[in-house]
Amino acid sequence: MISTMQGVLGLASGALVGFSLGLIGGGGSILAVPLMVYVVGVSDPHVAIGTSAIAVAVNAAINLSNHALGGTVRWWCALTFAAAGIIGAFIGSIFGKMLDGQKLLALFALLMLVIAVLMLKTRSRVGLPDVRISWDNMPAIVGLGLATGTLSGFFGIGGGFLIVPALMLATGMSIINAVSSSLVAVTAFGLTTAASYAWSGLISWELAGLFIAGGLVGGLIGTRSARLLSARGGTLNIVFAAVIIAVALYMLVRNLSLS
């Protein structure tokens, strides 16, 4: 049973998670896990990971519908990527539960910093305007989908921060298309990871519901902001990287202070 204060913090945290998903297609679990542990006060990192997985999956599906209305989702690329990633997410989640929760969060933060640097290096790239799946890019889509799914499941994340750069690398699509399309895989990976954690009894359903409710409002604002920023060359990439760096450094500092 969660307290009234935890409920309020859960709603506010969910709004922030939804905003991040709508804005950059990621940041769901990357924000949700530390928010649950350090703000809401969930003591078990594995419960925080499992709960964030289901909350992020539902919020990602809602934000996907918002982006789909704008016509920026590249469906066949996204669905193929997600299908390959589901296999990896299931495998990764099995191994993730075997690792100490605090070590998992620290590894997670280091991975985020690597992704942020890569996104900043490619911030000036415009991207192809109308990417389609083909025999030329299918091996990269499937391979990177499998790899990203495995990491997503291992770290217990929706994977948007991994999926967006992976889709851009595999297909050459623009960041707004990658942000929109990534939500297909974020939803799929999150549900796969959540199913594994639910089987082990590692989900707080009450807290997940509060995160989802808060995310409804945050997601609408985030989606509109993404469309505005994508029109300014490289701005969305910089915002994407800045969010990752800030959260990763915070997680590392907190992890070191607890060790």
Residue whose entry in the numeric block shows the structure tokens 């995160």 = 211
pLDDT number for residue 92: 83
Return all residues near 209 (Cβ < 8 A) that are at least 6 apart. Answer: none
Number of neighbours of residue 209 by Cβ within 10 angstroms = 18
pLDDT at 160 over 70: no
pLDDT number for residue 156: 63
The residue type of 237 is N
Give pLDDT tens digits for 217-240: 888 888 888 778 766 666 777 777
- Counting DSSP H helices and E strands in the chain, the numbers are 10, 0
pLDDT at 1 over 70: no
pLDDT at 258 over 70: no
What is the three-class DSSP state of 128?
strand
Answer yes or no: pTM beyond 0.85.
Answer: no
pLDDT at 29 over 80: no
Between 54 and 156, residue with greater pLDDT = 54
Question: Please, what sign has the CA dihedral across residues 49, 54, 55, 56?
Answer: positive
Q: 140 pLDDT band (50/70/90 cuts)?
A: very high
Between 78 and 108, residue with greater pLDDT = 78
